Amino acid sequence: MSTSAAPVYMDNSATTRPFPEVIDAMKTVYAEQFGNPSSLHRMGYEAEKLVSKARRSVAALIGAAEDEIYFTSGGTESNNWAIFGSIRSAGPRYKHVITSAVEHPSVLATTEYLEQLGYRVSVVPVGRDGRVDPDEVLSLVEDDTCLVSVILVQNEIGSIEPCAEIGAGLAKLGPRRPRFHVDAVQGFARMDIDVDKWGVDLLSISAHKIHGPKGVGALYIKKGVPMYPLLFGGGQEQGLRSGTENVPGIVGFGLACDMWAQFGREARRKLYELRQRLVSGILEAVPDAVLNSPEPDKAAPHIVNFSFPGFRGETIVNALEQRNVFVSTGSACSSRKSKPSPVILALGMGQDEALSAIRFSMSVFTTVEDVDTTVSALADALKQLAPWRRRST
């Protein structure tokens, strides 16, 4: 067995290594700039200034205004708030929500709960490329539809959903149109986002996916869109999300955004090259591997998903771990359960493909050597596992 010297981390859609600059900035805030932004004295004012600066940095990355960014504890909270806040704001007459078949569990489980509350939820299927048809989404809008919620970049396969087209179509429906929420946790920073151009009302993002800290994210709420508060209390975040701000986390988040603003374009170009190298490397080393991710023009730069029919995803994860390569079977929230991936099934693939899917996800720290090590470790692992491979009947 060939064990690579340094660990090769290819699970960046689960979480990323924080930028060292982010850690340094956060340390300073924890140690020295620890005031409460609501305090009236100078230390409070200094903390408030740090939060405002970070808010501007986050806003700049999605084309939003500073006061349209509401800090939360992460993507899950933002998604829950976007959905529950929207249905509450819309009122009891509105009983219908539209979403896609490939949402992250934080949207999927929330909309499933809405069904228990008596809402109708239309789940739009995806094609083999993992994308919804925007016309199909729009055709499902009814008089009592209050929300359309669609993921931007699918977290297991990396498909980019046609959010700009959906937003443009919804805008044509006039002022009583349903509001549009986008879960942009996996797309944020890894692609250009323009909330105004896309006609987005609500957009969820998270810091730890872009080399920022865990436990901090944001919900973009378009100016003028009425939103029910998430937390009542001291009135922070314009009275919609009370609670003392996570200042160190917010500062780290803002700095990570500044860094992406500086070198994001170049980082994405490099990631697309690595993606290409990884895809062709795996197809060459394992000719019967099934590529689940779409073509690069419809896919994010950092996520590649393959099935290895006859093998179990968890077995491959373990075999790669023994070779110091860290990957995932799917979304981090569900990968400990030995179940076929609903996302791979939604592509029209069989149980075997859904049980043998592996997600390789890269970051700005990923190197050509990491990609090559991953490919050779995978080939080596599958060779070792071959005697246990199940043949499809």
Residues assigned a catalytic role: 333
Which of 57, 76, 99, 335 is close enough to bind ligand PLP by CB under 6 A? 76
Q: What share of the chain is helix, strand, coil (3-state, %, to 5)?
A: 45, 15, 40
Q: Give the integer Cα–Cα distance in Å for 262 and 271.
A: 16
By the rule CB under 6 A, 181 interacts with ligand PLP: no
Neighbouring residues of 367: CB distance < 8 A, sequence distance ≥ 6: none
By the rule CB under 6 A, 217 interacts with ligand PLP: yes
Which of 111, 149, 186, 293 is close enough to bind ligand PLP by CB under 6 A? 186
DSSP 221-276: E-TT-----SB-SS-TGGGTB-S---HHHHHHHHHHHHHHHHHHHHHHHHHHHHHH
- Interacting positions 89-108 with ligand PLP (CB under 6 A): 104, 106
CB of 138 to ligand PLP, least distance (A): 22
CB of 105 to ligand PLP, least distance (A): 8
Specify whether the CB–CB gap between 185 and 205 falls below 8 A: yes
Tokens of 357: 């899917």
Which of 82, 146, 151, 325 is close enough to bind ligand PLP by CB under 6 A? 151
What string marks each residue from 108 to 137 as x (binds ligand PLP by CB under 6 A) or -? Answer: ------------------------------
Which of 155, 159, 329, 366 is close enough to bind ligand PLP by CB under 6 A? 155
Exposed e or buried b per residue across 213-245, where buried means at least 16 C-beta atoms within 10 angstroms of its C-beta: bbbbbbbbbbeeeebebbeeeeebbeebbeeeb
Number of residues that bind ligand PLP (CB under 6 A): 15
Q: At what angle do helices 313-322 and 368-385 cross, to 10 degrees?
A: 120
By the rule CB under 6 A, 178 interacts with ligand PLP: no
By the rule CB under 6 A, 57 interacts with ligand PLP: no
SS3 of residue 210 by DSSP: coil
Q: Which is nearer to ligand PLP, 26 or 382 (CB)?
A: 26
By the rule CB under 6 A, 332 interacts with ligand PLP: yes
By the rule CB under 6 A, 294 interacts with ligand PLP: no
Which of 18, 35, 37, 75 is close enough to bind ligand PLP by CB under 6 A? 75
Burial of residue 191 (number of CB atoms within 10 Å: 0-12, 13-18, 19+): middle
SS3 of residue 328 by DSSP: strand
Binding site for ligand PLP (CB under 6 A): 74-76, 79, 104, 106, 151, 155, 183, 185-186, 206, 217, 331-332
